[in-house]
A and B are shown apart, each in its own frame.
Chain A
Amino acid sequence: MVPFAGYEMPIQYTSITSEHLAVRGLVGMFDVSHMGEFWVKGPGALEFLQYATLNDVAKLKVGRAQYSMLPNAQGGVVDDIYLYRTGEEEYLMVVNAANIEKDWGHLQRLAEGFEVRLEDASDFFALIAVQGPNAVAVLQKLTETDLVSRKKNDTFMGKLVGKWARFARTGYTGEDGYEVFVAPDEAPAVWEALLEAGVTPCGLGARDTLRLEAGFPLYGHELTDTTNPLCTPFDWVVKGQKEFYGKQALLDAACERRLVGLLVEGGIPREGYRVLGGGKEVGVLTSGTHSPVLKKGIGLAYVQPEWAGVGTVLEVEIRGRAAPATVVETPFVKR
């Protein structure tokens, strides 16, 4: 167990690789109750969220969810978030555990002058992510609510093993599945029922290798207060046709480096390793690991734009040795 944002969390239950492969091949589950949840409510909720987030909230219908980010005034990212529209004037924002206090303060300041009410509900939700090709079939046996015919990013209420739950067809693994919000005191019963149904419990280690294979960013690594989302593969989140906080700074910034996926031979790339192009430093790894599916090193790196094209041959410096690396499309592993 390791301390993580104030929670005690397991790196692994049995083995990172076997947990990883369980999610890719069958179904695994993650206790991600550490994530923060904020309610955003009131007649000005839409207007406020349009201003405070990068994606287009006007497109979000009741019962739908979208990935988004909170911009700061300098063109950087306060946090990356998931936004769920739960009612006409009611949204649930899921934020990174390590950023709960920072985000809360930031949103409180931005909310002045909007007809909106913010509530920090982080302590009122446990969150269990059930992910993998068999996730929906396994969950469906534990509920009378239809899960099978829902679309990606749908969200709705239902009962899971008799407990009220908010279901969302979302996740952080690149697999099909649901994230299920339940009351903290009912979470153990849900977890036990899923264990009994044969779902493999997975720790932080597999969560990281799965999200990296899927090419997803992790806040504090690929996204920070000083990274511009337009210089990443997640630039689609930025909807320039609407007004948002810090818009001009974000749109005006030039990309000195771009975030790319690297496939690495002959070693495991790790965060902080230098990326070399033509023998000189052209970038740095923000995340890296061994891909259990590809059985190769994979990583995300910020590199100078002239070295960022897919197919570009680079090197990653691993313990003083240059390991061959190639810029590839993300996700590294497609469903």
Chain B
Amino acid sequence: MNYPSELKYTKSHEWVRLEGDVAVVGITDFAQDALGDVVFVDLPQVGKAVEAGSAVAVVESVKTASDIYAPVAGEILEVNSALSDKPELINQAPYGEGWLFKMKINPADLNGLLSAAEYQAVAESQ
């Protein structure tokens, strides 16, 4: 299982990569493995203001539907439209082409999230 050290993480298995004041959000390698083959993704509306911890997207595998939560507060800037045709990108490249959405955030809010080592401990205790 892969836990890139440059990313921030949530206990609910999202990752965040900061690019300026834009946060790129996806689900972790651990999460995609637990879900199994992803077959459908419900993405948020661009322009929507979201609270930290609110359910903003849904990733569905053959097995189950799983809510995706906003790691921090902000505004949805962009969604990964490639996922509507190729949801399997989430399984193939969870930290790359399988990203879910981008948010405009206050970078200071990321301090409350988990480091790679902290997240790895959370994931491996499950």
Determine whether A319 belongs to the interface, using a CB cutoff of 8 Å to chain B.
yes
Q: Considering only CB atoms, which chain B residue lies closest to A14 in the complex?
A: B36
Contacts of A319 in B (CB 8 A): 42, 58, 65
Interface bracket on B = 10 to 19
Determine whether A267 belongs to the interface, using a CB cutoff of 8 Å to chain B.
yes
Q: Considering only CB atoms, which chain A residue lies closest to B62 in the complex?
A: A16
Contacts of A18 in B (CB 8 A): 37
Bitwise interface map of A from 263 to 280 toward B, beta carbon under 8 Å scored 1, else 0: 000011010000000000
Determine whether A224 belongs to the interface, using a CB cutoff of 8 Å to chain B.
no
Task: Determine how close the nearest CB of chain A comes to the CB of B86; give it in whole angstroms.
Answer: 11
Contacts of B39 in A (CB 8 A): 17, 268, 290, 295
Determine whether A289 belongs to the interface, using a CB cutoff of 8 Å to chain B.
yes
Known contacts A268-B60, A319-B42; A15/B36 CB under 8 A: yes
Determine whether B63 belongs to the interface, using a CB cutoff of 8 Å to chain A.
yes
Q: When chains A and B are docked, how far (Å) is the Cα of A289 from the Cα of B40? A: 11
Q: Considering only CB atoms, which chain B residue lies closest to A204 in the complex?
A: B63
Contacts of B62 in A (CB 8 A): 16-17, 205, 209, 289-290, 292
Known contacts A17-B62, A289-B62, A290-B60; A267/B36 CB under 8 A: no
Determine whether A11 belongs to the interface, using a CB cutoff of 8 Å to chain B.
yes
- Which of A12, A17, A270 contacts B65, CB < 8 Å? A270
Contact in complex: A17, B37 (CB < 8 Å): yes
Task: Determine how close the nearest CB of chain B comes to the CB of A189; give it in whole angstroms.
Answer: 30
Query: In chain B, residues 41-60, which have Cβ atoms closer than 8 Å to a Cβ of chain A?
Result: 42, 58, 60
Q: When chains A and B are docked, how far (Å) is the Cα of A267 from the Cα of B63? A: 13
- Which of B58, B63, B65 contacts A11, CB < 8 Å? B63
Contact in complex: B40, A267 (CB < 8 Å): yes
- Which of B36, B42, B58 contacts A16, CB < 8 Å? B36
- Which of A11, A16, A205, A268 contacts B40, CB < 8 Å? A268
Task: Determine how close the nearest CB of chain B comes to the CB of A242; give it in whole angstroms.
Answer: 41
Contact in complex: B40, A290 (CB < 8 Å): yes
Q: When chains A and B are docked, how far (Å) is the Cα of A295 from the Cα of B84? A: 12
Contact in complex: B37, A268 (CB < 8 Å): no
Task: Determine how close the nearest CB of chain B comes to the CB of A312; give it in whole angstroms.
Answer: 23
Q: When chains A and B are docked, how far (Å) is the Cα of A15 from the Cα of B61? A: 11
Contacts of B63 in A (CB 8 A): 11, 16, 205
Task: Determine how close the nearest CB of chain B comes to the CB of A116; give it in whole angstroms.
Answer: 42
Task: Determine how close the nearest CB of chain A comes to the CB of B59; give it in whole angstroms.
Answer: 11
Task: Determine how close the nearest CB of chain A comes to the CB of B3; give it in whole angstroms.
Answer: 22
Task: Determine how close the nearest CB of chain A comes to the CB of B101; give it in whole angstroms.
Answer: 17
Q: When chains A and B are docked, how far (Å) is the Cα of A297 from the Cα of B65? A: 13
Task: Determine how close the nearest CB of chain B comes to the CB of A285; give it in whole angstroms.
Answer: 13
Contact in complex: A268, B36 (CB < 8 Å): no
Q: List 25 A-B contacts (CB under 8 A).
A: A11-B36, A12-B36, A15-B36, A15-B37, A16-B37, A16-B61, A16-B62, A17-B36, A17-B62, A18-B37, A205-B36, A205-B62, A205-B63, A209-B62, A267-B40, A267-B42, A268-B39, A268-B60, A290-B39, A290-B40, A290-B60, A292-B62, A297-B40, A319-B42, A319-B58
Partner-B contacts on A (CB < 8 A): 11-12, 15-18, 205, 209, 267-268, 270, 289-290, 292, 295, 297, 319
3 closest A-B pairs by beta carbon, nearest first, are A290-B39, A17-B37, A16-B62
Known: A267-B40, A267-B42. 7 other contacts (CB 8 A): A16-B61, A205-B36, A205-B63, A209-B62, A268-B60, A290-B39, A290-B62
